[in-house]
Structures are given as structure tokens and as C-alpha cells.
A and B are shown apart, each in its own frame.
Chain A
Amino acid sequence: MTMDVNQLQAKLREHQSAMFQQGFLDDQFSQLQKLQDESTPDFVLEVVTMFFDDSENLLKNMARCLEQVPADFKQIDAYAHQYKGSSASVGAARVKSVCATFRSFCETKNLDGCMRCLQQLQQEYSLLKNSLQYLFRLQNDIKAAGGSFS
């Protein structure tokens, strides 16, 4: 079933709005969108792709660190700090928020807390990734149908 451009644009607006309302994205993501123009038409996709790669590496590293006995909380905190920074830079608000909690558990050397945070991070990342991929798909469909989106 194909949709016309107007329907697709409505869907995109709705989806994007929901992502902001549900706190997945914050103003920094809007800033990235503002930086996208004719000379950098894929800027948001490029930054987000970098973020996905970065996320996967960091999550893997944090999991590996948490398996070690004894856990190296300093190293885990370094990863959480890095992830907090990159999520802030792309506007991934919920991921950033969990990273902040993660850091406080590292500070108090709370292994259980850290493990729960890691699980939460993996969940939030997965939700965000799916949502953003859907967003990009809608944008592509709109472009393919000859439309545009701001």
C-alpha cells in the first residue's frame, strides 16, 4: 500500500513530535537538523550513524568491564562519561539521563546499580535506534515520492 506525500509528511511530523514528547530527543537534535542544508544534506544521518557505532562499542566495553572481577569502576565510569557526552551531542536525552545515573553508581562502586543501568542503557539505545531508523525511512519515502521535509 503506497501513501501519498501528504500522508507521509503527516506521519513524519507525528513520529518526530512523539519522539520529542516522550523525551527520546531534546533540543540538541533540533540543532543538528538546523545544521543540515543543501551542502550537507545527510548531516543528521551521518552524525546519528556515528552515534550508533559509538553506542555499540561503548555498550560492549561496559558489559565486558562489568564482567570482570573485581569491576574496574574507574574504567566503567570513563565509558559512561564518554557515552553521556556523545548522547548529549546528538540530543539522545533518555540515553544521556541513564548515563548520569550510571556515573553515580560508579562513584559509589555499586555493582548492582551499574548492571541495572547497563540493561537500561541497552534498552534505551535499542528503542532510540528503532525510532530514528523509522524516522529516516519516512524521510526517504517522502524524498522518493518527490516531497520534502523541513
Chain B
Amino acid sequence: MELGNNQQQQQQQHIHVLVVDDSVIDRKLLERLLRDSSCKAATFLDSGDKALKYLGLLDDELDNASSTSSESLQQNGMKVNMIMTDYCMPGMSGYDLLKRIKGSSWKDVPVVIMSSENEPSRISMCLEGGAEEFLLKPLQASDLKKLQPCFLKCFDNSGEEDTSRNPAKEKQQNQNVNEELWKT
């Protein structure tokens, strides 16, 4: 799929969400919900370990001081504007993932935790650990609306600072490239 220069710029300005959830059904549901939100590009992974690998945070890769470190990933333009993770997963939990991210160069990326258990102690633990928001499963469209302030923050904090940005024009351009992006 070829992208013109214009479309490439727009792609860089899109919010890219990393979703981490071991449930194939929940990933599919979230994919459909995200489609209706401001977040038009998403990557879906089924474990915390895969998320760490994706973000260049696996310990053995750091030792190499190679181009797979998270700093160089970000320098090379790989963008993750938000991370949404399930709390309860086999292996690494969403809370563990949250702590790893907050202790890394990705620490400014908002992390949203999702869980089927409505446990106040779990919720406060996650929020105190730096989570932006805690969503109860099963997710509905109204939950994604709760993330709207978060999405807007992402636009402001986007890596590509372009002082000549025109939000209204971007919105139209974003809508035009939605289909292309979603197919990738």
C-alpha cells in the first residue's frame, strides 16, 4: 500500500494505541469500539511480554545497547500514544506492565487499565501506580467516551510538533485516511 507524502504526515498525526489483552473476544470488541473513537490506529497484543518486546523494554535487548532500545524506537518515529491493558493476564499482569512502562522512557504515555473485577483496592492501586484511567469490563461505547480527554491530550503531546496545524482541516483529512489506516 503506497502512501503519498501528505498521507504519511497524517498517519504520523494519528493517535496510535497499543492494546494488550489475552482475550480474543475483548480484543475484537475493543477494536470495534476504537474505530468509532478519535483513535484510528491500534496494535493488538495478547501478553505483557509481547508488549514489552514491542516497546523495546525487554531486558536482554537493553543489554545490547542496540537500535532496539526504547529510546531509539521513539527516535525512529515509532509512536505509541496510549496503552490500554487488561489487568488479569496469564504471566505478566496489567499492573506489572504499568509499573514497567512508568519506569521507562515511555513513562509519559497514558496507560489505561481494564478489568472485569470492580475491586476498589485494585482500582486505587492502579491509579496510584500511574494509570490514567481504570475501565470496567465489559467495555461499552460510553467507556471510550471517558477516554476522550486522554485522546485530546495525545494530540497536544504528539511527537510531531507542527505549529502550523489546522485542527479542522486535520479532522477532514483524518476521516479521509481512516479506511486506509484501518486496513493496515
Contacts and interface: CB of A to CB of B under 8 A. Distances in A.
Chain A interface mostly helix, strand, loop or mixed?
Answer: helix
B168 interface: no
Contacts of B52: none
B125 to A, nearest CB: 19
A54 interface: yes
B138 A89 contact: yes
Given A40-B32, A46-B28, A50-B28, A35 B23 contact: no
Contact of B23 (A32, A43, A85): A85
Interface in A109-126: none
Nearest to A28: B138
Interface in A29-83: 31-32, 34-35, 40, 43, 46-47, 50-51, 54, 78, 81-82
Contacts, number: 47
B28 A31 contact: no
Contact of B88 (A28, A32, A81): A81
Contacts of A81: 88
- Name the residue in A31, A32, A51, A54 with the highest tally of chain B Cβ atoms < 10 Å from its Cβ: A31
Contact of A85 (B90, B137, B140, B141): B137
Contacts of B88: 81
Interface string B36-59: 000000000000000000000000
Given A31-B141, A40-B32, A78-B90, A84 B25 contact: no
A86 to B, nearest CB: 5
B24 A50 contact: yes
A25 interface: no
Given A78-B90, A85-B116, A35 B26 contact: no
Contact of A35 (B24, B33, B90, B116): B33
Contacts of A128: none
A54 B32 contact: no
B24 A34 contact: no
A12 interface: no
Contacts of A43: 32
For A40, A51, A85, A88, the residue with the greatest tally of chain B CB atoms inside 10 Å of its CB is: A85
Interface string A87-125: 011110000000000000000000000000000000000
- Per CB-CB distance, the 10 closest pairs between chain A and chain B, nearest first, are A89-B138, A86-B25, A85-B116, A28-B138, A88-B138, A89-B25, A31-B140, A35-B32, A50-B25, A89-B26
Given A46-B28, A86-B26, A88-B116, 8 more contacts: A34-B141, A47-B29, A51-B25, A81-B88, A82-B23, A85-B116, A89-B25, A89-B26
Interface of B: 23-26, 28-29, 32-33, 35, 88, 90, 116, 137-141
9 contacts: A34-B141, A35-B32, A50-B24, A54-B24, A85-B26, A85-B137, A86-B23, A89-B25, A89-B139
